[in-house]
Structure 1
Amino acid sequence: MHDSSEWTDIRRGDPVDVPAVMSLLDGAVRWLTARGLAGQWGSSPLSGNPRLTTLITEIATAGGLHLAVREERVVGALGMGSAPDYVSPPPEAELYIVLLVTDRDHAGRGLGGRLLTHARRLARSTGVGLIRVDCYAGGRQALVHYYETQGFTPTETFTVPQPGTDWPGQVLAQHLG
């Protein structure tokens, strides 16, 4: 594994960065679909989803979008905002991660971990001691396991009704010392 800190910067994103984030999401969909894992985000490009594009634009406008950038290229995105309605309210002030995606061409180089470390720094700088995130809990629960390796603990499960099936999710939390 290569430490991404040697070659990436993290900067705040803004609405002009939304197409780059949508491109990362489309790449993740292609990667997941090629591995038979379309249950997470489906098999259609997410850039064609106006609701998601609007959500990411709102996150960027509110100052919650942070990007991992190598030279001029966006290779990862972290979005922070309000917990969705299907998640229980937090027991204390929190930083809620609503988006974490990295360029699959750079998989295994620590980008996701670096973005999560950035989120921890942001939380601490504002006096927030809780970070939560939710993720897809279907398939082999690979995302749940990933977040566990990053220091998160599973707290609650949920399902989101989808046409033809339910989308299984897991909320994870990390208390900052």
Structure 2
Amino acid sequence: MTDKLTSTIRPGGPDDAGAVLGLLDHAIAWLTARGRTGQWGSDPASTDPRRIAQANAYATGGGLHLAMLGDSPVGALVVGAATDDVPPATEPELFVRLLVTDRAHAGLGIGARLLEHAAELARARGLGLLRVDCYGGDDRALVRFYESCGFTATESFTVTRPGRDPWPGQLLIRRLR
């Protein structure tokens, strides 16, 4: 998939865990600079053993796709089965487990292109449902982003983990033709 910016989307692999962590680190720094630490906290993903293990699992699990601008990763998409934190689907689906883009390239539609890529993957598998969960706190800007990409907010939920503030989540769906 190529557009006027000569960006491409390619499958990720075991060597791409560092790229995922780098994208997360930049996103966390951008959010933190704006006082928005509720989504992913303020500590770099690359220093968090849980996030490092998660990035390694994404890179080896077969569901990672990277948006590339030249040789540089500018976005990451991970699709697969839904996480245990969200209400289960009532029909076969593809679930967006991670979407992160490089804020240095904001406004280029990288996130929307990655979500459309996820829809194409779901259609190719004969699936009519694409779901995603996201941070539903603060001003719900992230929820509105997903809605602008054709998703509909459905259920809200809360994730509780020991030693952390509750995380307000929002489940969204997109019906595919």
TM-score tier after normalising by the smaller chain length: over 0.9
Larger displacement relative to structure 2 (123-132 or 46-55): 46-55
Question: Would the alpha carbon gap of residues 5 and 64 (structure 1) be closer, same or farther in structure 2, given more than 3 Å must change?
Answer: farther
Question: Would the alpha carbon gap of residues 37 and 16 (structure 1) be closer, same or farther in structure 2, given more than 3 Å must change?
Answer: same
Shift of 1:4: 5.9
* Residue 67 of structure 1: aligned partner: 66
Q: SS at the partner of 2:116? A: helix
Identity %: 53
CA distance in 2, matches of 1:70, 1:164: 36
Alignment of 1:1-12 (within 5 A): 5-12=4-11
* Residue 25 of structure 1: aligned partner: 24
* Residue 173 of structure 1: aligned partner: 173
- Cα deviation, 1:64-93, whole Å, max 9, x if unaligned, reads 000001111111000112211121111111
The one-letter code matched in structure 1 to 2:120 is: R
Structure 2 length as normaliser, TM-score? 0.94
Question: Would the alpha carbon gap of residues 165 and 4 (structure 1) be closer, same or farther in structure 2, given more than 3 Å must change?
Answer: farther
Alignment of 1:1-150 (within 5 A): 5-150=4-149
Larger displacement relative to structure 2 (23-32 or 48-57): 48-57
CA distance in 2, matches of 1:94, 1:62: 17
The one-letter code matched in structure 1 to 2:138 is: G
Structure 1 length as normaliser, TM-score? 0.94
CA distance in 2, matches of 1:51, 1:77: 18
The one-letter code matched in structure 2 to 1:89 is: P
Structure 1: which 4+ aligned runs deviate by more than 2 Å?
3-7, 162-165
Q: SS at the partner of 1:165? A: coil
Number of equivalent positions: 175
Q: SS at the partner of 2:73? A: strand
Q: SS at the partner of 1:11? A: strand
The one-letter code matched in structure 1 to 2:17 is: V
Question: Would the alpha carbon gap of residues 5 and 62 (structure 1) be closer, same or farther in structure 2, given more than 3 Å must change?
Answer: farther
CA distance in 2, matches of 1:28, 1:95: 24
Q: Unmatched 5+ residue regions in structure 1?
A: none
Shift of 1:50: 1.8
- Residue 4 of structure 1 contacts residue 110 of structure 1 at CA under 8 Å; is this kept in 2? no
Q: SS at the partner of 1:6? A: coil
RMSD: 1.4
